[in-house]
Amino acid sequence: MVASGVLFAVSCALPAVVAYNTGTRELESMWGLSMLTDGWMGPVANLWGWFANPLLLLSLPLLAKGRYRWAFWLGIAAVIVGLSTFSWYTNPIPVNEGGSRSRRLELSYPTLGFFCWMGSLVMVPASAALLARKDAKVKAAAASVVT
């Protein structure tokens, strides 16, 4: 859980993606924190990746409470939703409210912040799987001692 939180914090402090602005014809770095604060508006451009964040937030307490199966599947859902960020390649973001096709942000490539963010998402199902396996071994050992 700590590793996930650290990776998430690092992802907010780094550039997450580089996008091409068709209006200015320049590449723009988009920082993780601005993606976090503005990403909820993604559905306007049919982009859903930001919604991996609430799924991550919901899965962490489940992991802490030992609800590994729920944490695992919610974490897997977060990873899948996070990967949907790549749909930005086919769905450019309008730069203004009018949705003009001449002024859009097209995803050029993800950067280190994006990969740290994805790492923070992957940590939950990976941790849940490892902890569930460890828990099963402990229960099996306890059952064999009783018999």
For residue 93, give Cα distances in angstroms to 31, 49, 87.
16, 13, 11
Tens of pLDDT along 63-101? 999 999 999 999 999 999 999 999 999 888 887 766 566
Residue with tokens 């859903």: 48
pTM: 0.88
Q: What is the pLDDT of residue 140?
A: 84
Residue with tokens 């988009």: 30
Domain coordinates of the chain in residue numbers? 2-146
Please tell me the least confidently modeled range out of 1-15, 19-33, 62-76, 130-144: 130-144
- On average, the pLDDT of the chain sits at 92
Q: Among 16, 62, 5, 68, which Cα is nearest to 39's?
A: 16
